[in-house]
Amino acid sequence: MNNPILSIAENRKRGIPVGIPSYCTANSLVLEALMEQGRRFGDYLLVEATANQVNQFGGYTNMKPADYRDYIFDLARETGFPEEKIILGGDHLGPLTWADEPESTAMEKAEELVRQFVLAGYKKIHLDTSMRLGDDDPNAPLEDAVIAARGARLMKVCEAAYEELAAKNPGEMHPAYIIGSEVPIPGGSQEHEDSISVTKPEALADTIAAYRKAFDEAGLSSAFQYIAGVVVQPGVEFGDSDVFYYNRQNAVPLISSMSRYPGLILEGHSTDYQTPASLKEMVEDGIAILKVGPALTYSLREGLFALSEMEKLLIAEEKRANFTEVLEDIMLANPKDWQKHYHGTEEELKLKRKYSYSDRCRYYFSRPEITETIETLFSNMETVSIPLSMLHQFMPLQYSRICKGLLSPQPRALVKDYVVCLAEHYNYATHINYQYPV
């Protein structure tokens, strides 16, 4: 069976400008929304886990690769989404989490990381060895040859793991790999920047050449056919309050250079908060894999905040969940997941904890206190009938969809629809002649 990620390049060679969104999240409400919305189509849902989120030690989700796989498939069964249409991806797989360690131990852990991802059935593997390790010269740029040699080392482990898996499951789909060294910081920029530099064609050429050479030297020449694409910086990024939107004119040299590599596509990270038009232009230009992460939980948080505001108007004070206030209290009591990322006065920090594009509050959504508060909010709002006029005020998009019979006015459905609206942007970008449902 051909890997759908590898098929994207084949379709594009035939002049079909398709792509695929890559959803990087572990939030159950977000995933439910994506799966429920995805049932409208007959195509695939690409869901990715990052190396710091999911790894052999559990990551910050406390899930190993097989655990995350089972978690995703359990949600698919609950929502009725076909399991065979799920593509699991591993993002930033390499020594990222152990970059302060020397190469010997960092790469050993990275090898075990990719091995577990492949054995667990992940079919899109981003080999990311772009970071300096503990014994690399901190004052010198990491050479392409070093990055590629480390990437080839991980590729060899991946291929061995795939052969082990295929021996048990004849017909097992082969993983597709993504390479590339120009990778934005996972989760968005931490500091204000004035501009974003687009990957230069010569940098892309050097990366591909270095990997080809490293693969040849590692005896992996035949495996290069499974390299589906390259991560580049097309000029998009976001920070606390800034979004750098795609400018296709700035990307012309990069996009034009891809004609030399007809078997490869480009992958863009940090596409969060781009406009639908910008996303579509990116796909048309060959940036066929659109990674999105924080914007998903940012959308969920918007829906929860709106529902919480209506709770204040419809539910007696002593019964309210007060989600917005509880979230703030939990973040203040446990600051480690936002303190190093947000800077400014106390008033500025208060606003960033709620509204920053970096969306550090997503790290708190799995805490028992927060999940309990969300369920209380849903339960409270299920006991009342939300006036349509109030929905028009606090949830105007959802109001329109309810009026057209496309959405249930139930609290959980209303909140999840914020995620659906975001997913529609990516459907518009990656599907041909896509029509919005509203």
Rounded Cα gap, residues 385 and 399, in angstroms = 14
Residue 185 clears pLDDT 80, i.e. is over it:
no
| 311 or 262, higher pLDDT | 311
Question: Please, what is the average pLDDT of the chain?
Answer: 94
Res 95: pLDDT:
97
Contact 124, 46 (CB under 8 A): yes
Residue 187 clears pLDDT 60, i.e. is over it:
no
Helices then strands (H, E): number in the chain? 15, 10
Q: Which residues of 249-274 are buried (b: 16+ CB within 10 A; e: fewer)?
A: eebeebbebbeebeebbbbbbbbbbb
**Mean pLDDT of all residues in 77-82:** 96
Per residue in 116-151, pLDDT (tens digit) is 999 999 999 999 999 999 999 999 999 999 999 999
Res 182: pLDDT:
65
Q: Which residue has the tokens 């010269």?
A: 137
Model pTM? 0.94
Element (H, E) at 139: none
**Mean pLDDT of all residues in 366-384:** 97
Per residue in 198-239, pLDDT (tens digit) is 999 999 999 999 999 999 999 999 999 999 999 999 999 999
Per residue in 232-262, pLDDT (tens digit) is 999 999 999 999 999 999 999 999 999 999 9
